Structure 1
Amino acid sequence: MEISLNLLQEVDAEALFKFESENRWFFEKMVPSRGDDYYSFETFIRRHHELLKEQKNGLSYFYLITNDAGEIVGRINLVDKKDNIADIGFRVGATYVGKGIGNQALNLLLKTDLSVKQIRGKTTTVNHASQKVLERNGFKQVRVGDEEFEMNGEIMKFTHYLWGNENPRL
C-alpha cells in the first residue's frame, strides 16, 4: 500500500475524529486512554485547534498517514520540539496493522527536512510492534522506566528510545 504524510490542517477535523473514535478500543489496548472527553466532538475540535496553533508556532508537527484513496490510516507526530530535540508518537488504525505502515511512515518522516538532531520515542513494554518500528528505523533503546502502571489488567512500564540525526538540516 502506498502511503503519504500530510501535515494536519483545519479541514481534517471530522475525518480525524472519525478515525480516532473508530480505533479507540484498539489504541487503548496498548497505550493509556486519552479519556472520555477526547471523544466528544466539541472537545476534540478544541484540541484540534490547539494542535494547529502548536504546529504553526513550530513546537510540534502533526502528520496524517493517508493511503492512495486519501483515507486516514494512521498518525505520526513530532511533539514538544525544544533545543533541536522532539518526541515522536505514532498510531496506525486497527484495519491497517501488520502491513508495514508504521515502518513506512516513520521512514518517510525521517527523510523529510527535519529540524531536530534527536528524537525521543517511548512505548509500553507490551507494544512490541511499535518497538520494532522504532528499532527498524534506527532508534536505540536507552532504558526501561522504573515506574510501573496497570493498564487493561496488566502491569507494565515504558520503554524509552533515542534517534540521532548526524546530518541535521537546521
Structure 2
Amino acid sequence: MPELQLLRPDHAPALLAFERENRAYFAASIPDRGDEFFARFDELLRERLAEQEAGIYYFHVLVDAAGEVLGRINLMDVADGGADLGYRIAERATGRGLATSAVQELFELAANSYGLTTLRAAARVDNAASRAVLARTGFTVTGETTLSGLPGLTYLRRLEEFTAPGHRPG
C-alpha cells in the first residue's frame, strides 16, 4: 500500500516526474500548472518547503514501495484551525481508492499534528471522481463556486472526531 509522506527535498525527482507524466490528464479536470511551473520547479519547490516549514501549507505525497509518487494531498492556506484540501492522483493509479484512503489518513494528521478542526475543498461539477472522494470521506456541500470558469461546488469537513482524547496539537 502506498505511504502518505510529508513533502521533503528528496522527493523532488519523483514529484517532477509525476507532474510531467500526468500534466495532460490533470489539465482535463483542474487548472494546468503552466510551463513556468516546470521551468522553475526547483525554485518553486524550495518556496513550497519554506511555506510548509512556516506552517502555512502542508504538502504530502503518496509514494509507492519503489519511491514513485502516485499522488499529492495538500493542505493549503492553513489559518484559524482550517485549511483548503487539494489532491491529485496519477492517471495510472486511479480507480483503486487511493485518493479516498489518503484523504482519510490526512484527517488524523490534520487534527492531531497540525491542529486543524475543519477542512474546506472545492471541485468542478463535471469532476465526478473528485466529488465522489469528497462524499465518501464525509465532506458536505456548502455552496457553489466557479473553478477555471466552470461551475463547481464547495465542501466542508469537520475533524473533531479525529482528535485523539487529551491530545493537544503542537
Identity over aligned pairs, percent: 34
Q: Residues of 2 paired with 1:52 and 1:4: CA distance?
A: 19
1:149 deviates by: 4.8
Corresponding residue for residue 126 of structure 2: 126
Q: Residues of 2 paired with 1:89 and 1:4: CA distance?
A: 17
Instruction: Say yes or no: does 1:94 pair with 2:91.
Output: yes
Task: Specify every segment of 5 or more residues in structure 2 that has no aligned partner in the other structure, as ranges.
Answer: none
1:3–1:105: 8 Å Cα contact kept in structure 2?
Answer: no
Alpha-carbon deviations, 1:71-101, whole Å to 9, x = none?
2100000111000110000000010011111
Alpha-carbon deviations, 1:16-63, whole Å to 9, x = none?
1111001000000000111111122xx011110011001111111100
* RMSD over equivalenced CA pairs, Å: 1.5
1:70 deviates by: 2.5
Secondary structure, aligned partner of 2:160: coil
Instruction: Say yes or no: does 1:142 pair with 2:142.
Output: yes
Instruction: Say yes or no: does 1:69 pair with 2:66.
Output: yes
Q: 2:76 aligns with which of 75, 79, 92?
A: 79
TM-score between both structures, scaled by the size of structure 2: 0.89
TM-score between both structures, scaled by the size of structure 1: 0.89
Runs of 4+ aligned structure 1 residues displaced above 6 Å come to none
Q: How many residues align?
A: 161
Secondary structure, aligned partner of 1:52: helix
Secondary structure, aligned partner of 1:134: helix
Paired residues for 1:21-170 under 5 Å: 21-40=20-39, 43-112=40-109, 113=112, 114-145=114-145, 147=146, 149-150=148-149, 156-167=150-161, 168=163, 169-170=168-169
Q: Residues of 2 paired with 1:93 and 1:59: CA distance?
A: 25
Q: Residues of 2 paired with 1:49 and 1:125: CA distance?
A: 33
Corresponding residue for residue 153 of structure 1: none
2:31–2:148: 8 Å Cα contact kept in structure 1?
Answer: no
Q: Which amino acid aligns with 2:135?
A: E
Q: Residues of 2 paired with 1:64 and 1:148: CA distance?
A: 24
Q: Residues of 2 paired with 1:10 and 1:78: CA distance?
A: 18
Measured at CA, do residues 56 and 33 of structure 1 come closer, stay the same or move farther in structure 2, by a change above 3 Å?
same
